[in-house]
Structure 1
Amino acid sequence: MKRILSILELNRSTYYDRKTVKQVKGLSKRGRPTPGYSMHKKGHKIPDEQIEEHLMEYYLDDEIGGLGYKKWTSLLVEHHGLIINKKKVYRLCKKLDILKESREKQAKHPRRLARNRIITAPNQLWQLDIKYGGITGTSYFVFMCCAIDVYDRSIVGIYRGSTCRAKDIITMLTKALIRRKIHFKPGEFEDKLIVRSDNGPQFVSHLFGDFCEYQKIHHERIPNKTPNMNAYIESFHSQIQRECFNRHSFGFYEEAYYYIDRYIDFYNAVRPHGSLKNLSPKAFSQLSLAGEIPIQEISL
């Protein structure tokens, strides 16, 4: 082989490199595929979507935001126990467009911080958040994004799937707006729906900002490390964790969807809620609209 390569004037490294690479139809690049998660020091998997949320928190922090992806890698290892290197953090930061050199770009949609409000009726304030759970025996995750009405605690919208992108949340919110018959005329501002979220990459994306602007929705984001400002959706996610995720193991996606959908129906229509006079969200909403329950003010 050495003699043949010498006659052909080819380097041995070139020959052996091409020989060992398996040409897989449909793939344009070599190397192992990115798994979509990183390992925690304790042995469990952390999906890339969760890591992206941590990176967005770093990016929006007044002090940590100026450090750059290499320092953020160290913080992910120290604060969140991740086994991750700077090359992967760089790829995720590039995907999110939060590399240090891009900080000078002017935001297309300015960040509106959540502030204290008094809620007196449905469809004034919805809270959004994303939750995920594992598929038993696999490295895959099922993602869930819910929207809760702060006044009557109804889950007005839900998305569940193998990924959770901005366009998935937009589709979910569009269906929720139709079901609740919410439509704002051009120029209206005071009575527009407020949607509150954290600083996850889906919620800070241009696509989500464009959607809120088009629908005349006031989108506000909670400051970093203040989950109490999104307490109602956080509380619901802790309930579904205890009463659904912990009680059922999901062997495949359709099974997860079945149990999640069944729980949402149970929560909205049957489950008594302590802060709603032990009524279900559906019953409370109906009695409230009929005037049989005095208007209550919720300050948050």
Structure 2
Amino acid sequence: MEFAHEWILAGFPATRVLNIVSVYRSTYYNRLSHPQVKRVSTGGRPIPGYSRTKKGKKVKDTKIKEYLMVLMEGEEAVYGYRKLTKALRKTYHLIINKKKVYRLCKDLDILMPQREKKQKYPRKLARNREVTAPNQLWQLDIKYGYVLSSRRYFFLASAIDVYDRTIVGHYRGTVCEAKHITKMLQKAMLKRDIHIPEENDNGTPKLIIRTDNGPQFCSNHFRAFCADQMKVEHERIPPKSPNLNAYIESFHSVLERECYQRNEFITFEHAYKVVDDYITFYNEERFHGSLKDASPHEYFEKWQNNQLEPLKLTM
């Protein structure tokens, strides 16, 4: 509209200009007769400066501040702004909300100090480690798959051994809680013959399980499984640092490209079978360039038979 108006003021025929910009003559001339006024935002409703009692009487904010100071001198001195709000309503019959009481308490500098939130499960941050053999560092993560018939997602939790790239265990299901993952890990440790270390067992490095900060991995159940039940070390990567979980992220990328994108999952049973078959293929047959074109199982067997040169990975 502004463009058309500039051309008309420059001397061009109004009808022709309005036809070009597809604006009706009536619309154009109506806008000229009724110019729009730009409204400037005032930042919300102004503070009224008072509240009312239940009988409708106005009480100024300065008086309410006096009430607050009186309350803070009595037994209510231990109260925060939420309970002070209830005290104002009960004692002085005010109609007032907690947001206003918070603002007045802040003006008076009488807010109670906030309690620090204590993390139930303190995070042990992942750090660079030297991996010289299987069963020293496992990376664990969760991926989603989509089932067409039910239009729902399923979970796939996978654990990979960083040294030989074997998917040592996986779980798939419509729900994925910490108990499902710990059960999967327990089976994987049994299959890999990883025993619970004794108090004086210092010969074999302790297994380290590395995860992100998902709710399953921050739970007390997962902590108890790692620290108390299986005596393994659990560490979590910092937020936005997937490179520290690069091996499992790489597997999920390969899984997406070679399995998910090549199949349309009709039912959950179909999806589970396809995923199981692919992981079997990945472990037993798929060539890995980083493993000298051997499959993870072949590489693991060569390590067991002392057929590999010593290798150190830093992760």
Range into which the TM-score falls when normalised by the shorter chain:
0.5 to 0.7
Tell me what 1:244 maps to.
Answer: 259
Does 2:127 align with 1:111?
Answer: no
Identify if the C-alpha distance between structure 1 residues 103 and 237 changes in structure 2 by more than 3 Å, giving closer, same or farther: farther
Runs of 5+ consecutive residues of structure 1 not aligned to the other structure: 1-101
1:42-83 CA-partner distances (Å, limit 9, x unpaired): xxxxxxxxxxxxxxxxxxxxxxxxxxxxxxxxxxxxxxxxxx
Does 2:163 align with 1:148?
Answer: no
Does 2:209 align with 1:195?
Answer: yes
Q: Which amino acid aligns with 1:164?
A: C
In 1, Cα distance between equivalents of 2:250 and 2:115: 34
User: Pick from 195, 215, 220: which aligns with 1:206?
Assistant: 220
User: Pick from 171, 175, 178: which aligns with 1:166?
Assistant: 178
> Is this contact kept in 1: 2:125–2:236, CA < 8 A?
yes
Is the deviation greater in 190-199 or in 227-236?
190-199
In 1, Cα distance between equivalents of 2:189 and 2:248: 18
> Is this contact kept in 2: 1:288–1:295, CA < 8 A?
no
Q: Which amino acid aligns with 1:136?
A: L
In 2, Cα distance between equivalents of 1:122 and 1:103: 45
Tell me what 2:195 maps to.
Answer: 183
In 1, Cα distance between equivalents of 2:189 and 2:121: 22
Tell me what 1:295 maps to.
Answer: 310
Does 2:135 align with 1:120?
Answer: no
TM-score, normalised with respect to structure 1: 0.64
Does 2:245 align with 1:230?
Answer: yes
Tell me what 1:259 maps to.
Answer: 274
SS of residue matched to 1:202:
coil
In 1, Cα distance between equivalents of 2:238 and 2:294: 32
In 2, Cα distance between equivalents of 1:115 and 1:198: 13
Tell me what 1:276 maps to.
Answer: 291
In 1, Cα distance between equivalents of 2:149 and 2:157: 23
SS of residue matched to 2:197:
coil
In 1, Cα distance between equivalents of 2:256 and 2:267: 18
Q: Which amino acid aligns with 1:242?
A: R
SS of residue matched to 1:133:
strand
In 1, Cα distance between equivalents of 2:194 and 2:116: 37
In 2, Cα distance between equivalents of 1:103 and 1:247: 52
In 1, Cα distance between equivalents of 2:215 and 2:154: 18
Aligned-pair CA distance for 1:218: 0.3
SS of residue matched to 1:201:
coil
> Is this contact kept in 1: 2:141–2:212, CA < 8 A?
yes
1:232-267 CA-partner distances (Å, limit 9, x unpaired): 000000001011000001111000001000001100
Is the deviation greater in 111-120 or in 179-188?
179-188
User: Pick from 129, 132, 135: which aligns with 2:141?
Assistant: 129
Q: Which amino acid aligns with 2:243?
A: N
SS of residue matched to 1:204:
coil
Give 1 or 2 for the bigger CA radius of gyration.
2
1:187-238 CA-partner distances (Å, limit 9, x unpaired): 3577210000000000001110111112111000000100000000000000
TM-score, normalised with respect to structure 2: 0.61
In 2, Cα distance between equivalents of 1:242 and 1:117: 29
Identify if the C-alpha distance between structure 1 residues 152 and 103 changes in structure 2 by more than 3 Å, giving closer, same or farther: farther
SS of residue matched to 2:205:
coil
Identify if the C-alpha distance between structure 1 residues 185 and 223 changes in structure 2 by more than 3 Å, giving closer, same or farther: same
User: Pick from 220, 223, 236: which aligns with 1:221?
Assistant: 236
SS of residue matched to 1:212:
helix
Aligned-pair CA distance for 1:142: 1.3
In 2, Cα distance between equivalents of 1:164 and 1:108: 21
SS of residue matched to 1:170:
helix
SS of residue matched to 2:175:
coil
Q: Which amino acid aligns with 2:309?
A: P
**Sequence identity, in percent?**
52
Q: Which amino acid aligns with 1:280?
A: S
